[in-house]
Amino acid sequence: MPIHRDILDHGLGGVILFNRCLHNPDQTANIVSPGQLKELCTELQNLAPRTLLIGVDQEGGKVRRLWPEAGFEDLCSARQMGSDTDDTALTREQAQTTAAMLAELGINCNFAPVVDLNTNTSNPIIGTLERSFSDDPLHVARHAAAWIDAHRTRGVLSCVKHFPGHGSSAADSHLGFVDISENWERHELEPYRILLRQDMVDLVMTGHLFNRHLDTDHPATLSAPIIDGLLRTELGYQGVVVSDDMQMKAISDHYGFEEAVCRSLAAGVDMLVFGNNLDYGSDICPRAIKAMDDGLARGVLSEERLLRSLGRVNKLKERLGNDHD
């Protein structure tokens, strides 16, 4: 099985789970039932020589991989928790339920919460899917902090997304190029700034978002001015940066595989996500490793840069407290 090979032979550091196979709807997905999923997570974790990050998108509402129809706990949307009620106690309760479920299943990383502002309610990937807590950065930060804290009490990592802000966009980066140059405003950074001051950030996910005022050439995931400049230098974040799915068309339609791998790592991304769901390839992991090796040989990547990322990821995994060594 390719995933077993990648963990054992290629040092794959994490997996992400899905309840649907988008590339082949007739194929059985990773997630079928609680019992099956727990068995899968246990198998993969036991196979890994070091702690494996096992991640899932379990935001609640319309964006979740664990559905009640398959026997999992129900969870309302971020908008219901934030804008509709503005009740952080509800957010904490929902997050505690979610985190307890994930921990029991063996999932140690939830790619949530969304901290995008709901500034464009017609946004096809944020606003209309009720993924944002609010259009007010203070409300977003308050609810996100409750969410993250509840996950931490169960030993589950959280990931704030989509840096530097997807809420004002008018398009979906799953489907193609997204230019936020005319819509994005700097107050979309405030949830990150507030959460960082409170030490309430485990991981930050970049969005595949182009803003010519921040970088005239590349979207955020491939942008050193945005990651190393805005996020790390201006906001002071020194933790793990993870990409959104590198197979989304905002990247895959505009950059070759090797170029995208090397540009994102050189820009400051520490972990690359290949969902292998929008487009499946059994060799995705060795291809990414070869791209890195070639990048090192050509001088577009430095060993020092990759070692910094490895150090950040290892430090993050130490917090999970279940390394196999």
DSSP codes of every residue in 42-105: HHHHHH-SSPPEEEE-EEETTEESS-GGGTPPP---HHIIIIIT--HHHHHHHHHHHHHHHHHH
266, 303 contact by CB (below 8 A): no
Instruction: List, in order, residues 6 or more apart from 292 with CB less than 8 Å away.
Output: 261, 262, 265, 301, 306
Does an H or E element contain 242, and which?
Answer: strand 240-245
Q: Pairing relation of β-strands 63-64 and 58-60?
A: antiparallel
Comparing CA positions, the residue from 227, 272, 263 lying closest to residue 245 is 272
Q: What is the Cα–Cα distance from 103 to 41, expressed in whole angstroms?
A: 11
- Which residues have a catalytic role annotated? 174, 244
Amino acid letter, 112: A
φ and ψ at 27, to 5 degrees? -90, 145
User: CA triplet 107, 125, 280: central angle to 5 degrees?
Assistant: 55
Rounded-to-integer distance, Cα 297 and Cα 286, Å: 16
Distance (Å, whole) CA 29 – CA 11? 23
